[in-house]
Chain A
């Protein structure tokens, strides 16, 4: 049933929908989007808060509204949708295997693939928090699904570990539902998510935030009864004598997201150990020809708008790969993270077209200058690990690249040093 597919997009969250629409617009004829849930949109449906689309649509939308705009475009573009379909394998030759109730077990070989599987949450096991193993421990995103989609409240007295965006948004959401969020505990000296969420979700609702603290023990046999919270030292180790017990019936974890790349690995896609996502060039092509990637599967974004833009690029490149059989650019310049730069996406550029660099810093710093080799320099008041930096390189700047350059170092320097 799936013959002559030009571009197969795996996942229909903001990344998958943007890639599929753009691939179609860019001339790929037969575009298929494969989604394991019963509708398009991915996790946007459970994100009923606002703040989506401020950049992309210049409007303040909720997650479902943002999804709806793209769903309509997918429909209009006549992209083929396979819902309730779980992709179980991708081979290096791009053979895709999938399972669904309607179509059964299927395999096909599209001419190009866009990986758009998004990311998943870190769990309690990954943190290895000591204590018992009762009911009442949820990742913030799973709790969000239960509250906003399934219609259930995990508990009445909540402690949240980690101040990621979903954790802070759930602190406000559960407060509005009548639960008491006792405290949000963050191991770092600053919040993990966006400032706007710290203000609008925690401060505006008088939810206590404990910085430089962590949960050191979980209590309760069948259901969570309390957690022990302690201050941490500079190396994030709990300080003896600072422990205190907080009574609660639920513990939510918002301690980080991991790009979901099990399928990418099956396909032989090389991953960056820092981002956890594929190593990509400026067209978002991975090391496997014809396999592209966009959105949170590449690196975890803080704004959906950037996910959409980045994935449009992946979709467009996949279409070009099919229609023009375009070979990767001959020239390849590697971008190397320098001082206080954690990662840069894309990992390589050709220097032949304008490009947007997405990057994150390791540490919070004030009064810095961002330098991309000798071709670009920009003063910044403050940089934070939680807020992605976006730098556009113009043709003029790229023109300054010397012949034979194979590597550019990106540094975030302290000004005045």
Chain B
């Protein structure tokens, strides 16, 4: 990559970075997004409970905090955004379980506070109603606070869609470009990346887990954040709807959330208490699984560890431990003009739409000229999901493109046509194909499809099969060709 010049450089391809890039593409602004991984959404966005806060969850928020404002402003924006971008959005409702009278009192206060800022969607339901709505819930629950408006989405697909739509509207996306250094100059900044230098006038730092490290490169780190690690376990689809709403108990302390929710694809997700952890240590432990299951059993006794098909850890950046999940960083640096730091912490996905608008406002205050892009098209179509088509549509599609008649992933019924389309849109790795098409996400976890997807990636990208990676960088899947290890040996 030779030296690139751009007006606004967005660092970080998570849900916030891509939402900001897409928002900027509404204007005649030259925007470039750099992401250190081989694909967008692979940081905090990926390890996610997929919940879109719509009300009751905002109970914990306080209006004096900026983060609450961003979440509340995002509430009416999320569903239309998902519709524009053809991303799954499902309103499932939320049940905050009440276990005793003390909790009841606390909830009444919280409900009143929420009503005072205009959030009026939640209601108390009694024991009978709760057990009718969720027959598998623990018998000791005495009722729940119900918010019918809470929704779920797929944050990874949302982020991919935001990036695609930003590109459609003139934005530039560079993956596997890790920011190594930032220097100020007369025109703005000179940014050194692992793929060459980029000069820009404005920087949006949405580097997620590394937000403070990136800011520190140019002394714009006038804030402190703490890495908090969470753990998510995915249950087999065959478990079905052990819960049909997002269900949780009110945390005793910040970070102690304990959530069970369906995903948009019919799996159930278990979330665990979040803990301060060494940054970037994504390794899971037996303890995480044990604690998660123990907590889940308090809400739904029948959940079994045997049904876990996958699990992973992810990071959130808390503003500080006390206020941790109340406050966020969405502000221009006090020390460095034209440098904006963005870190929501939790819930990044839910707050993304309003945060993007807020950041564009901050850019304008810092001097960016915003002329409308008359060609801006807010719509983007998802890759055809073969398994969801009608019989006639399937027949028609195969007649048009025989690749759709070749099923490469048996568990999720994903066809070669979908894999080719994912690659055409920017997937360069096995995980990239998986997150776009679900090939490899089913119960055999890629056992059947990985040789086939490896072959298609090699063919479409014009590389050798041994060069195909799981997730970019040094994650090559197959290290040697046959007989390579025997050459030169006796």
Chain A residues at the B interface, C-beta cutoff of 8 Å:
36, 84, 86, 88, 97, 99-105, 107, 120-121, 123-126, 128, 130-136, 139, 141-142, 145-147, 149-156, 177-179, 216-219, 221-223, 249-250, 262
Contact = CB atoms under 8 A, between A and B. Distances in A.
A135 B402 contact: no
Contact of B478 (A101, A152, A219): A152
A150 B394 contact: no
B447 A153 contact: no
Given A86-B410, A101-B406, A104-B395, A249 B479 contact: yes
A392 to B, nearest CB: 35
B478 A142 contact: no
Instruction: Find the residue from A102, A126, A134, A218 having the highest chain B CB count within 10 A.
Output: A126
B470 A120 contact: no
Nearest to B391: A105
A142 B486 contact: no
B364 interface: no
Nearest to B286: A130
B116 interface: no
A151 B481 contact: yes
Contacts of B485: 153, 156, 177-179
Contacts of B311: 125, 128
Contacts of A223: 474-476
B480 A132 contact: no
Contact of B405 (A102, A131, A139, A221): A102
Contacts, number: 150
A66 to B, nearest CB: 22
B479 A101 contact: no
A177 B405 CA distance: 36
Contact of A84 (B285, B406, B454): B406
A102 B399 CA distance: 9
Contacts of A221: 282
- Chain B CB count within 10 A is highest, among A107, A125, A177, A217, for A125
A124 B451 contact: no
Contacts of A179: 485
B4 interface: no
Contacts of A103: 405
A99 B415 CA distance: 10
Nearest to A174: B485
A150 B455 contact: yes
A150 B451 contact: yes
B450 interface: yes
Interface in B179-203: none
A65 B448 CA distance: 23
B280 to A, nearest CB: 8
B451 A104 contact: no
Given A121-B447, A177-B482, 16 more contacts: A105-B405, A121-B444, A125-B308, A125-B309, A125-B310, A130-B286, A132-B283, A135-B470, A135-B475, A142-B448, A146-B478, A152-B481, A153-B478, A156-B480, A218-B283, A222-B475
B473 A222 contact: yes
Given A105-B398, A128-B308, A133-B312, A139 B407 contact: no
B471 interface: yes
Interface string B451-477: 100110000000001100111111111
Given A99-B394, A222-B475, A177 B486 contact: yes
A133 to B, nearest CB: 6
Nearest to B282: A132
Nearest to A151: B482
A263 B466 CA distance: 34
Nearest to B307: A126
A216 B289 CA distance: 13
Given A123-B447, A132-B283, A133-B282, A152 B482 contact: yes
A322 to B, nearest CB: 27
A134 B475 contact: yes
Nearest to B401: A101
Contact of A141 (B285, B394, B447): B447
A263 to B, nearest CB: 10
B451 A145 contact: yes
B6 interface: no
A100 B405 contact: yes
Identify which of B469, B476, B483 gathers the most chain A CB atoms within 10 Å of its CB: B476
Contact of B445 (A125, A219, A250): A125
B447 A150 contact: no
B12 to A, nearest CB: 19
Contacts of B121: none
B305 A128 contact: yes
Contacts of A36: 407, 410
A179 B482 CA distance: 11
Given A130-B284, A131-B284, A123 B445 contact: yes
A36 B473 CA distance: 33
A88 B407 contact: yes
A135 B485 CA distance: 19
Contacts of A123: 309, 443-445, 447
Nearest to B309: A125
B413 interface: yes
A152 B480 contact: yes
Nearest to B478: A152
11 contacts: A86-B410, A99-B407, A99-B415, A130-B285, A132-B282, A135-B475, A135-B476, A146-B478, A156-B479, A177-B485, A262-B411
Nearest to A249: B479
A223 B410 CA distance: 26
**Closest 9 A/B residue pairs (Cβ):** A178-B485, A101-B405, A135-B470, A86-B407, A152-B478, A222-B475, A135-B475, A105-B394, A123-B445
A270 B450 CA distance: 30
A128 B289 contact: yes
A258 B479 CA distance: 28
Nearest to A152: B478
A178 B486 contact: yes
B230 to A, nearest CB: 15
A107 B395 CA distance: 11
Contacts of B308: 125-126, 128
Contacts of A135: 469-471, 475-477
Contacts of A99: 394, 398, 405, 407, 415
B132 interface: no
B257 interface: no
A153 B484 contact: yes
A318 B411 CA distance: 27
B471 to A, nearest CB: 7
A51 B282 CA distance: 43
A79 B141 CA distance: 61
B451 A142 contact: yes
B445 to A, nearest CB: 4
A155 to B, nearest CB: 5
B403 interface: yes
B448 A120 contact: yes
A219 B283 CA distance: 8
A177 B310 contact: no
A132 B284 CA distance: 6
Interface in B400-437: 402-403, 405-407, 410-411, 413, 415
Nearest to B394: A105
Contacts of A222: 469-475
A12 B447 CA distance: 19
A133 B313 CA distance: 10
Given A86-B407, A86-B410, A104 B283 contact: no
B403 A101 contact: yes
B289 A130 contact: yes
Nearest to A150: B451
Contacts of A120: 444, 447-448
Given A84-B406, A123-B445, A150-B465, A107 B476 contact: no
